[in-house]
Structure 1
Amino acid sequence: MDDIPLSALVIGLCICLLISAFFSGSETAMMAINRYRLASKARQGHRAALRTQVLLDQTEKLLSVILLGNTLANTGSATLSALIAAKLFVDNEAAIGVSAVLVAFIILVFAEATPKVIAATHPEKFAFATSAPLTLLLRVFQPAVWFVNLFVGGMLQLLRLNQRNHGQQALAPEELRLLVLESGKYIQKKHQSVLLNLLELGSITVDDVMTPRHQMEMVDLDTPADELRRQLFTSHHSRLPVYSGNPDDILGILHVRKVLSLKEEEIDSDAIRALTRSTYFVPSGTPLFTQLQNFQENRRRLGMVVDEYGELLGLVALEDILEQIIGEFTTNAPQAGLRFEKQPDNTYLLDGATSLRELNRKLKLALPTDGPKTLNGLILEYFEEIPDAGTCFVLAGERLEIVQTQDRSIRMVRLYPHL
């Protein structure tokens, strides 16, 4: 060793530091790379992405060859630094000790911290650049890697850990939601909103979006023929529930378009009954995503929501579900736009029958939706009685005032803006 020139030892030390930096950065880049973007590029035939994906599919071997190379490089660096110090400072133990600390600092900064930070900042570029050398090294050191993994596997079995559980795990709904929220400029704002709404379909039920029973537009076959014709000709909906005397007993669904095939004098209760289609019932509490699939499978666009006792609660249409995904896109009746009426003083007049989820979405509120589904129901639950008109209160951080009550329910509420 004494015959080796000092310059050769210094060059060897620099090479060992570079090799250590290579393995340190490779480890960080391989573990930090976006697996989904990597898979996308691999499917497009990107060669470096394909190599990187193959390496990550055998993580235990990849880590073994990286750690093996890093350990050898760091050991070589420590040995060469000791030889350099011995040549420069003969019989000076203090100087040799200082040089050892100095080399440790150099390894920490230049061979560990710096390459790891660079790799963490640009994991894709670093991983792609190192994938070819790592693939070659994995083949060259295959026997050594196998020998190391033999002991690693034994330790994992002793600790009862699953060695194969290293792949990209599936994202939970909340993680996927966060991924969409953080997509930023990569997804248009409207597309981002649609994706987020889709993720929420499983937690929203038909009760949240249905038209309540008392707001349903229906046709009574017991109505005189002239009045029946007037109802049909002035209807704001293309599909109407049909009943005879008792609104709880829905006989079927009438597509108003079919009435056009009849002459005006032919339109009566018997003709309407013949044109109705069988009623499609939807159990209360059905998730919207499930109901969307049910509508598709049953080729339906309208369903009557019933509770566990078979009592009619309301009506849910395909359009109601689609509006939860893409936002409001149609208005079936003139009164549909009167649920929120902004006043000159910046307050809002709200219909008591308005859905809480609709209020939260359109007015950016935070009213609780885990209990009652309408504003009227929420206020009644809060007071546990029917409050008088003029009553002011604060609910979920919002200032509200009862404007009008009628028939054991709250018809109109005023929402005050935040001060």
Structure 2
Amino acid sequence: MMALNRYRLKALSAKNNAQAKRVEKLLNKIDYLIGGILLGNNFVNILAASIATLLSLKLFGEGSVIVASLVLTLVILVFAENTPKTFAAKNPEKIALPASWILEILIKIFKPLIYLISIISKFILKLLGLKNVSKDILNSEELRMAVKDSKSQMSKNYQSMLLNIIDLEKVKVEDIMIPHHELVSADANDDEELFEQFKRIQHNRLLLFEGSENNIIGTIHMRDILNIYAKEEINLSKIKECIREPYFIPEGTSLSQQLEHFKKQKRRLGIVVDEYGEVKGMVVLDDILEEIVGQFTSSQGETIEEIQIQSDGSYLVDPRVSIREINTELNVKLPFDSAKTLNGLILEQLQSFPQHNLSLKIDSLIIEIIQVSKQGIKLVKITKIN
């Protein structure tokens, strides 16, 4: 009964399996179940000991009682305890499901006695400071282990997606956002800049601001611009009519929460802002989905633009790239609890602004600083240590 897989039991019960439902009912009153099993078990063991003592006295005299006790102990341990219980523990469904109706009948017959045993046990446990505990609920780490243990039951891709879904609660929007300096935007009041962006933009949405890039007033979809062009009504007033109200996301929001928010708000992108309202970056729905299913916009083996593999096996990396992207591309485990970019991680490790040709070791990587500027590190070379 105790070795049964509770989730397998729930699945059988959901399919209206009568035996599974009976076992579930018994396990819901675990004190009654244990009381009923131990009542029968101890009664039989004590009765067997009494019979063995009487037989040994009658047949062999008083000196045989100890020998009879030793023989009976061995018999009970082998044939009534170790062997059957080991077999049952390894075949829980095979034993527990058909045996449940016998246990149910015995518990009903001896219910008054079992009830009394249960009350006394609860009273003693209460005196010892032990209270009823809630039913077992899997936390995220236990659920992760359950998924890993079930690898023989599912494909590697499905297992990976399930693990990624579990991890969505740990990953924050700033971990996957497009940083502010990489955002493509234009001043909504500057005709020339707007039209220039329409000509060269490679995305289907454009961010619009007024005065400052931190003052985002909305987004405009390129499909709407194409419709205006088709009607030959292209002008600033028509463009402003197509501006869609911006959607802001507080820094620190988990991906699981944001995925739910996108669904409720019917949105596909949001602007990440800090507690002061300053724009930190942008998160799009596709990026969250890629956290679950993996990258689906690049062919297998293709590295992202900021990470370029060299002939000697090393990598030239733009230090503004996120640590999560480096971990994914290079299959490493750099920490990203505080610093989110490689640049931030290097500065965190050195505690000072570095010079070029400086090298440092972080985890299993040798990081060599190739180029620096007044603003920061421009290019690094990464070599993996085997």
TM-score by length of 1: 0.85
Say if 1:249 and 1:151 are closer, same or farther in 2 by CA, change over 3 A.
closer
Percent identical among aligned pairs is: 38
**Once the 2 structures are TM-superposed, how far is the Cα of residue 369 of structure 1 from its aligned partner?**
0.8
Please give the residue correspondences for 1:311-350 in structure 2 after superposition, counting only pairs within 5 Å.
311-330=278-297, 337-350=304-317
Partner of 2:281, secondary structure, is: strand
Partner of 2:83, secondary structure, is: helix
2:108 pairs with 1:146: no
Contact 2:364 2:385 in 1 (8 A): no
- For residues 122 and 216 of structure 2, the distance between their equivalents in structure 1, rounded to whole angstroms, comes to 67
2:178 pairs with 1:208: no
Say if 1:235 and 1:407 are closer, same or farther in 2 by CA, change over 3 A.
farther
Larger radius of gyration: 1
Match of 2:206 in 1: 240
What's the CA shift string for 1:182-239, capped at 9, x where partnerless? 22212322222222212222221111111111111112346563x6434213311111
**Once the 2 structures are TM-superposed, how far is the Cα of residue 374 of structure 1 from its aligned partner?**
0.6
2:93 corresponds to which of 114, 124, 128: 124
AA in 2 matched with 1:133: I
Partner of 1:145, secondary structure, is: helix
- For residues 61 and 285 of structure 1, the distance between their equivalents in structure 2, rounded to whole angstroms, comes to 47
Match of 1:6 in 2: none
Match of 2:328 in 1: 361
- For residues 120 and 362 of structure 1, the distance between their equivalents in structure 2, rounded to whole angstroms, comes to 44
Please give the residue correspondences for 1:158-237 in structure 2 after superposition, counting only pairs within 5 Å.
158-163=127-132, 165=133, 168-221=135-188, 225=192, 228-237=194-203
- For residues 221 and 156 of structure 1, the distance between their equivalents in structure 2, rounded to whole angstroms, comes to 71
AA in 1 matched with 2:29: Q
2:66 pairs with 1:100: no
Match of 1:10 in 2: none
- For residues 406 and 329 of structure 1, the distance between their equivalents in structure 2, rounded to whole angstroms, comes to 35
2:80 corresponds to which of 111, 115, 127: 111
Say if 1:390 and 1:137 are closer, same or farther in 2 by CA, change over 3 A.
same
- For residues 263 and 96 of structure 1, the distance between their equivalents in structure 2, rounded to whole angstroms, comes to 106
What's the CA shift string for 1:390-409, capped at 9, x where partnerless? 22110123211112234522
What's the CA shift string for 1:341-375, capped at 9, x where partnerless? 22111112222111112222332211111111011
1:379 corresponds to which of 336, 346, 351: 346
Partner of 2:308, secondary structure, is: strand
Contact 1:386 1:408 in 2 (8 A): no
In the alignment of these two chains, the number of paired residues is: 382
2:31 pairs with 1:73: no
- For residues 372 and 233 of structure 2, the distance between their equivalents in structure 1, rounded to whole angstroms, comes to 42
Partner of 1:293, secondary structure, is: helix
RMSD, matched Cα: 2.3
2:103 pairs with 1:134: yes
Provide structure 1 residue ranges, at least 5 long, that are not aligned to the other structure. 1-29
- For residues 241 and 311 of structure 2, the distance between their equivalents in structure 1, rounded to whole angstroms, comes to 51
**Once the 2 structures are TM-superposed, how far is the Cα of residue 297 of structure 1 from its aligned partner?**
2.1
**Once the 2 structures are TM-superposed, how far is the Cα of residue 253 of structure 1 from its aligned partner?**
0.6
- For residues 314 and 149 of structure 1, the distance between their equivalents in structure 2, rounded to whole angstroms, comes to 60
Partner of 1:338, secondary structure, is: coil
- For residues 178 and 345 of structure 1, the distance between their equivalents in structure 2, rounded to whole angstroms, comes to 38
AA in 1 matched with 2:138: L
Partner of 2:276, secondary structure, is: coil
Say if 1:336 and 1:189 are closer, same or farther in 2 by CA, change over 3 A.
closer
1:293 corresponds to which of 252, 260, 263: 260
Say if 1:347 and 1:228 are closer, same or farther in 2 by CA, change over 3 A.
same
Say if 1:160 and 1:40 are closer, same or farther in 2 by CA, change over 3 A.
same
Say if 1:278 and 1:143 are closer, same or farther in 2 by CA, change over 3 A.
closer
Contact 1:229 1:267 in 2 (8 A): no
AA in 1 matched with 2:71: L
Contact 1:228 1:268 in 2 (8 A): no
TM-score by length of 2: 0.91
Partner of 2:304, secondary structure, is: helix
Give the 4+ runs in structure 1 shifted more than 6 A.
Answer: none
AA in 1 matched with 2:7: Y
